[in-house]
Amino acid sequence: MAIAAELNDRQFEIGEFLAREREKDLLRFSTAGSVDDGKSTLIGRLLYDTQSVYEDQVRSIEGKGTTAPGQIDFALLTDGLRAEREQGITIDVAYRYFSTARRKFIIADTPGHEQYTRNMATGASTADAAVVLIDASKGVLIQSRRHAYIASLLRVGHVLVAVNKMDLIGYDEAKFRAIEADFSRVLDEIAADTGNPVERIFVPVSALKGDNIVHKTDAMPWYQGPSLLELLEQLPSSVDTRTSPFRFPVQRVSRPDRTFRGFAGQIASGTIRKGDAITVQPSGRNAKVERIVTWDGDLEEAVAPLSVTLVLDREVDISRGDLIVAAQAPATVSRNIEAGLVWMDQRPLELNRRYLLKQTSQTVPVHVTAIKHRTDPGTLDHQPAHLLHMNDIGVATLNLLRPIALDAYGEIRGTGAFILVDAETNGTVAAGMTRIAHGLQSAGAPVLADTWGPVTAGEREARWGHRGGVLELTGPKELIDAIERSLFERGAATVRMDADNEAFVLHPQLKEIVTGLQVKRGLLALVTSENESGTLKATAEGKQIVVETESGGETDGTVEAGNTSWANKVVAAVHQLLLDAEILVSSEMAGL
């Protein structure tokens, strides 16, 4: 009986503990800063001093790493990849969970190398706060500025600046104050550029010694502020989106039987109640919420970020990718947006090349029609650019092949964020934040009502990335095939005709009539004449180029057999010719 009573008491205590854990709020934060600033060491020290690591984990790293004998290399608690431990750097984003008596935390330990800036952007994209580390012995470096800029772009509202390795400079207050003044000026400049002011707090720390990480230290009596952990416990939790306009990206249409039809997804922002009027975008159709269904039963009200199934009071055509919004506060339906981009791919961004834009639960083809500027993270200058290389940050104009509903990232993160995907490799090439969405219509008006009528030349130009034109090609068949393929991959609408066709030879005017009709319809007519020479001649709008092999002789007629570099040279030259002839042009003129 005594044992049973003890077990009952223990079960009660466990239940009480779990209830207390559920009541704690959650703070997500990421680390940022230059390489070797001590980000992983700081996180490892934080986990160690809060007793958030198991003894066997500590034993497994004793005597390893880059620290002096008898010291634990705390970075090894987060750097789990073999390459990370061998090189003593962070490569991938490491997520760690820990909790204190006051709050639960999820940490994203991000890399500092410029090569892995894209991983830093990934880690910061879901963060409520950022801990930016600065090496006290080195001061503010370019990568610290770049990471702070990306954090500001991603609307991270709280920045804790940990000036690390204070032990290396003898805990000098003057040097700390100089770094504080320097980086405060940087953060002010970044806020002015991105339009996102941040709350910043500076704290001097030594991650290796544990000074001001979890516990206050006596080594810096001139600093009277709280420790890093105390600051993290005091920060406001994630932005409360319950009062924001309601946004619900549909992930799945649930129809288990003929009597039930619901729309499943996660609430991105706002609150929904039974009887609320909603609008489905981009179609613009209206309805009311009849039920809010969950596994545990129906709800009267649901708030972000709950996952629910909505049942409407009438049959409405809705599919995955549609956005259900509050009828009185709809999103913007747009085909043309201006967005901030963090380029993540080794292959540079190419204007008018077709990418895939993935936003919430939908994917739509898109062309980047113009780059407004590239931002230099060192000076924050806006520089003109025709390309964005890996880790570049810029602002670009994007033209979507069909309209979608979205918000400015600064207003609602969930529906303002997107990624760009390379359609050929299926790799993520950029993170995007919508700045301006040019609406197609007045709020709430159905898209279909505005799109009846003839398709205009501007609409074709916007969708295909070119106006109607004629490109005459004379040369090896394999090269002409490669040119046509390259235009097809860019989304161009091409028609290929043989200039030596018997009908054209007998009736010379017929070719002009046919190409004229195709140009009028916005098509790119390829008039080809194939031969086995080592020269390709291309003509468009009176402009002509001639490209020869390096040897000037004949080719073997096989691009794959060693002439790939020449084929790429020819394709690039032809694309430049079409740009010069203003056939491949910016689709901004379409007004979409």
CATH number at residue 79: 3.40.50.300
The neighbour count for residue 426, using CB atoms within 10 Å, is 8
Residue 147 resides in a domain? yes
Residue 177 resides in a domain? yes
The amino acid sitting at 15 is G
Residue 2 resides in a domain? no
For 504, the domain range is 462-589
Same domain, 169 and 131: yes
Check the CA dihedral 117-118-119-125 and report its sign: positive
Same domain, 410 and 536: no
CATH of the domain at 405: 2.40.30.10
Query: How does 226-257 read in b/e, with b if 16+ C-beta sit within 10 Å?
Result: ebbbbbbeebeebeebeebbbbbbbbeeeeee
Same domain, 213 and 89: yes
Residue 13 resides in a domain? no
- Given 452, 484, 514, the domain boundary residue is 452
Same domain, 216 and 251: no
Residue 408 resides in a domain? yes
Same domain, 223 and 292: no
Same domain, 255 and 128: no
- Given 412, 432, 452, the domain boundary residue is 452
Q: Residue 204 half-sphere exposure, CB side, CA atoms within 13 Å?
A: 27
Same domain, 354 and 424: yes
Same domain, 183 and 210: yes
Residue 457 resides in a domain? no
- Given 326, 355, 387, the domain boundary residue is 326
- Bridge partners (DSSP) of residue 307 are 266
Residue 162 resides in a domain? yes
Picking from 574, 567, 453, the residue whose alpha carbon sits closest to that of residue 524 is 574
315's tokens: 């049959």
Cα–Cα distance measured from residue 357 to residue 419, given in angstroms and rounded to the nearest whole number: 6
Residue 1 resides in a domain? no
The amino acid sitting at 95 is Y
Cα–Cα distances in angstroms (integers) from residue 163 to residues 28, 220, 571, in the given order: 21, 13, 51
Task: Give me the number of domains the chain comprises.
Answer: 4
| pLDDT tens sequence for the chain (592 residues) | 444 444 455 555 777 767 777 777 888 888 887 877 787 788 888 888 888 877 767 776 665 655 555 567 776 766 553 343 444 444 457 788 888 888 888 888 777 666 667 777 888 888 889 899 999 999 988 888 888 888 888 888 889 999 999 999 999 999 999 999 999 999 999 888 888 888 899 999 998 888 999 999 899 999 999 999 999 998 887 666 778 899 999 999 998 888 899 999 999 999 999 999 999 998 889 999 999 999 989 999 999 889 999 999 998 889 999 999 999 999 999 988 999 999 988 889 987 778 999 999 999 989 888 889 999 877 888 998 888 988 889 999 998 988 899 999 988 888 999 999 988 888 899 999 999 888 764 444 444 444 556 777 777 776 777 889 999 999 998 889 989 988 887 778 899 999 888 888 888 888 888 888 888 888 999 999 988 887 889 999 889 999 886 544 444 444 443 456 677 778 888 888 888 888 886 433 333 3
Q: Residue 273 half-sphere exposure, CB side, CA atoms within 13 Å?
A: 4
Cβ neighbours of residue 241 closer than 8 Å, sequence gap 6 or more: 268, 269, 270, 304, 305, 412, 414
Same domain, 211 and 355: no
Classify strands 323-326 and 247-249 as parallel, antiparallel or unpaired: antiparallel
pTM of this prediction exceeds 0.75: no
The 8-class DSSP code of residue 454 comes to P
Same domain, 562 and 492: yes
Same domain, 197 and 341: no
Cα–Cα distance measured from residue 73 to residue 61, given in angstroms and rounded to the nearest whole number: 7
Same domain, 140 and 214: yes
